[in-house]
Amino acid sequence: MATRVDPIPAPQEPVPAPSPAPGRRARGSRQVVGPFTLRHIAALGATLLAVAVGLILVTLPVTAPSASPPPVPGASFFIISAPTVGLSIGQKAPELTAVVDGQTVGLTDLSGNPVTLAALRGHPVWVSFWATWCPPCQAETPVLRDLYQGHRAAGLAMVAISVQETTADDVRAYAQKYGLEFTIGFDATSAIFKTYQAYGLPTHFFLDGDGVIRAIHLGPITTAQGEAILAPLLPH
């Protein structure tokens, strides 16, 4: 019996992909500018956008800038009103007066006598704002007493202006207790304190014989600091 042998089929040719119809191009391959297609332009735009974002990120500050807070002299400086720039060195110190309810009022001592800078012209003057209830003021009281006692013979004048006190008698009792012999002004309403644009206690102004501010110290002062400030103001 004869064996049937089927013929081996011829290899199939690959079917070519259909060509786009005449007059049509594949999507994104249409020429828009010269030889560039929409795909080229889109890729270029994406690249430019990435570069721009990178430049923005590089130039941004690490942290957002913050507003500078008002200067704070130190933890021991007793702030009692809004911080202000205040008076400056080289400026003529204002007279110890203020305007209250449209009227000019002057500083008085514990006995009610007027205290003026005009009467002290020719002397170096130490103007100190303080209060008997202020802890850092209490701590520096012996320093002020001793520095004044050590330099009063050389012409130093001191006006310690008590601020926001209840009565002059309270301040007088404090002065007697600590043996304070310098002039003490009574500024119960803080009117003079505001004239000097101060905002905390204690605040010290050092004036030369012409009434010009030569030094300003915020906070309690030490003996060494006081001596260094007074040295160029006192006669040698």
Q: What is the pLDDT of residue 142?
A: 97
Instruction: Give 72 or 109, the one with higher predicted confidence.
Output: 109
Give 152's DSSP letter.
Answer: G
Express each pLDDT in 132-165 by its tens digit.
Answer: 999 999 999 999 999 999 999 999 999 999 999 9
Q: On the CB side of 91, how many CA atoms lie within 13 Å of its CA?
A: 11
Identify which of 224, 221, 190 has the alpha carbon closest to the alpha carbon of residue 126. Answer: 221
Tokens of 59: 């130039």
For residue 105, give the H/E element and its range: strand 103-106
pLDDT of residue 8: 46
Q: Which residues contact 66 (CB under 8 A, 6 or more apart)?
A: none
Kindly compute the dihedral angle of the four CA atoms of residues 209, 213, 219, 222, in this order, to the nearest 10 degrees.
Answer: -40
State the Cα–Cα distance between residues 100 and 231, nearest whole angstrom: 37
Residue range 8-18: average pLDDT? 51
**Pair of tokens at residue 81:** 């009103």
Q: What percentage of the chain has pLDDT greater than the value 90?
A: 66
Rounded to whole angstroms, how far apart are CA atoms 125 and 180? 16
pLDDT > 70 fraction of the chain, expressed in percent and rounded: 69
- Scanning the chain, the segments in alpha helix (DSSP H) are 38-59, 135-151, 168-178, 191-195, 223-230
| Number of residues in the chain | 236
Q: Is residue 232 within 8 Å of 220, Cβ to Cβ?
A: no
CB atoms within 10 A of CB 137: 23
Q: Output the CA angle 213-208-73, nearest 5 degrees.
A: 35
Q: Average per-residue pLDDT in the chain?
A: 82
- Residue-wise over 83-109: b if at least 16 C-beta within 10 A, else e? eeeebeeeeebeebbbeeeeeeeebeb
CA distance 134 to 137: 5
Q: Is the pLDDT higher at 42 or at 60?
A: 42
CA 135 to chain centre: 24
